[in-house]
Amino acid sequence: MAFLFIRSQPRPFEETNPDRVEAGQLFDKDMLLTEAQWRDLALRKGLASQNYRWPESGDGFPHVPYRFADANVNQVAVKAGIAHWEQHTCLKFDLTTNENQPHLKFQKGSGCWSYVGYISQYSTGQDISIGQGCTSLGTVAHEIGHAIGFYHEQSRPDRDDSIHINEENIVYGRENNFAKISDSFVDSQGIPYDYSSDMHYSGFGFSKNGRLTIATVDPRNQELIGRRNGLSHRDTHLANLMYGCIDKWKQACSMDSDPCQNGGYTGANCACVCPQGTSGSSCETLEEDYFASQRSDCSARITSPGTVTSPNYPSNYPYGVVCAKWVVAPECKLPRVTFTAFRLSDCSDKLEIRTSNRYDGDFYCGTSIAPGTSFTSTTNELILMFYTRTNSETGWSADVTFIDDPNCSPATTQPPTTQPPTTQPPTTQPPHNLLHAVLYSLPAME
Ligand SMILES: [Zn+2]
């Protein structure tokens, strides 16, 4: 047998961060708020004011002084995150030794966290922690995102059109972390909701049972949330609007208006910065949906019978997969999947099967689904959602069929016919708390 190089993926900080750190209580897992911000939050009133923006210097651009406040912080990772922000926005970060001014104090605290926005009253600097497990570019960029004034994407007032919160899976007492922030509190500046935002949480934050707390309305977009591989187009667009960068660039380019279409904007070099799925010098050609162009080939909507498998099957699946097989039956039919193979790790990798609730299902791992086992939906949709942290096994294969829905009255006048029972109980299922314990015993890795 060939040697298998097994890799595994660390868990995102929203699953590992402590609730409280040396600097205070964390809101929404990684944000520190000032007393005034806590008060405003409780009152749900406007906070996204200019007061929390980093001020402009003589060159007309916003400047963020920073220093390394302890010897242990990963300076290479911090500098990479800063370079990423400088590359995509007009913010300038200045390494400083002057402690007597508002600035970012990068340190290696417990976990990853930051204050939200520029806190003018912290005249000797505001803390930002890049702790163990926080050094990926996407995570450093996320914490800097808070420091420049971003809240979490899933807190947006309009989020219910895009995601569904599974309240029943949230750790007791933590429901508040999924509260929407009111329109007066955040200003999304007309930028549409972005699953691929670096500020979006993954699906498992604050989960009490290993099940999803955040499910995307289109299941194919589940793979985009919490991926955290850097600022998205809409993140940089929002930051560049918040800090007036686009107007400054247009002025420098002697442009009166912004010629960029379909969500593009004028960048530093006077050319359009175009979102994924568009092309042309003014982003004028819309080739594909913004999200579709960022998804893997694995996530798919399936409307005809056939075979569905884990990626690379029968070779090993890759690590870091989130993949949706969204099976939609024709009118008066119910989708059914019958497994011919099922082989996952114990239990870092898992398959979720949704048969009655399109946002929440049961989880399977190891070899807990015997060949020949069928699952039939009670609605016209059935969703298989596959998650991996390792690449240690071959995965699964299943046949999709559609059976008659006994409760369906088609438009044509036809007497109802008797049908065989459609719902088969799953054969074996690991207890959720056991699966939870296994999932949560994985070591955090840097
Ligand atoms: Zn955060």
Using a cut of 0.75, tell me whether the model's pTM lies above it.
Answer: yes
Which position has the token pair 């600022």?
231
Q: Let me know whether 274 and 348 are in one domain.
A: no
Residue 288 belongs to a domain? yes
Instruction: Check whether residue 85 and residue 147 sit in a common domain.
Output: yes
Question: How far is the C-alpha of 287 from the C-alpha of 299, rounded, in Å?
Answer: 19
Residue ranges with CB less than 5 Å from ion ligand 1: 30
Residues 375, 307, single domain; the answer is yes
Cα–Cα distance for residue pair 436/428, rounded to 1 Å: 16
Residue 279 and residue 345 in one domain: no
pLDDT score recorded for residue 46: 30
The answer to whether residues 77 and 48 belong to one domain is yes
| Residues 99 and 131 occupy one common structural domain | yes
Which segments are annotated as binding site for Zn(2+)? 142, 146, 152
Which CATH number fits the domain that encloses residue 373?
2.60.120.290
| Cα–Cα distance for residue pair 194/233, rounded to 1 Å | 9
| CATH number of the domain that residue 113 is part of | 3.40.390.10
Give the per-residue pLDDT at 41.
Answer: 54
Distance between alpha carbon 221 and the CA centroid of its chain, in Å? Answer: 9
The pLDDT assigned to 216 comes to 98
Residues 327, 270 share a domain: no
Residues 325 and 256 in one domain: no
* Whether residues 364 and 317 fall in one domain: yes
| Final residue belonging to a domain, choices 234, 264, 294 | 294
Domain boundary among 151, 177, 202: 151
Q: Which domain holds residue 83?
A: 31-151
Is residue 192, in this structure, part of any structural domain at all?
Answer: no
How wide is the angle at C-alpha 176 spanned by C-alphas 170 and 182, nearest 5°? 130
Report d(CA 325, CA 301) in Å as an integer: 6
Identify whether 428 is part of a domain: no
Do the domain assignments include residue 412?
no
Phi then psi for 317, rounded to 5 degrees? -70, 155
Distance 69 CA to ligand 1 centre (A): 21
Q: Is residue 128 included in any domain, yes or no? A: yes
pLDDT of residue 155: 87
- With respect to residue 395, please indicate whether it lies within any of the assigned structural domains: yes
CA 443 vs CA 7, 10, 428, 439: distances in Å: 13, 8, 27, 10
User: Same domain for 41 and 147?
Assistant: yes
* One domain for residues 254 and 334: no
The rounded Å distance from CA 109 to ligand 1 centre is: 15
**Whether 143 is catalytic:** yes
Distance 152 CA to ligand 1 centre (A): 6
Distance 239 CA to ligand 1 centre (A): 16
- If asked whether residues 36 and 147 sit together in one domain, one would say yes
Nearest to 123 by CA among 147, 101, 105: 101
Ligand 1 centroid – CA 141 distance (Å): 10
Q: Is 183 part of any domain? A: no
Domain count, the chain: 3
Catalytic one among 14, 35, 99, 143? 143
CA pair distance 351, 362, nearest whole angstrom: 8
54 Cα–ligand 1 center, Å: 19
Q: According to the model, what pLDDT value does residue 21 have?
A: 75
Distance 408 CA to ligand 1 centre (A): 46
Per-residue pLDDT of the chain (446 residues; tens, 9 = 90+): 445 566 677 777 777 787 777 777 777 778 877 766 665 554 332 345 678 889 999 999 999 999 999 999 999 999 999 999 999 999 999 999 999 999 999 999 999 999 989 999 999 999 999 999 999 999 999 999 999 988 889 988 889 999 999 999 999 888 877 888 766 666 777 889 999 999 999 999 889 999 999 999 999 999 999 999 999 999 999 999 989 999 999 999 999 999 999 999 999 999 999 999 999 999 999 999 999 999 999 999 999 999 999 999 999 999 999 999 999 999 999 999 999 999 999 889 999 999 999 999 999 999 999 999 999 999 999 999 999 999 999 999 999 999 999 988 766 545 555 555 444 444 443 333 333 322 222 233 22
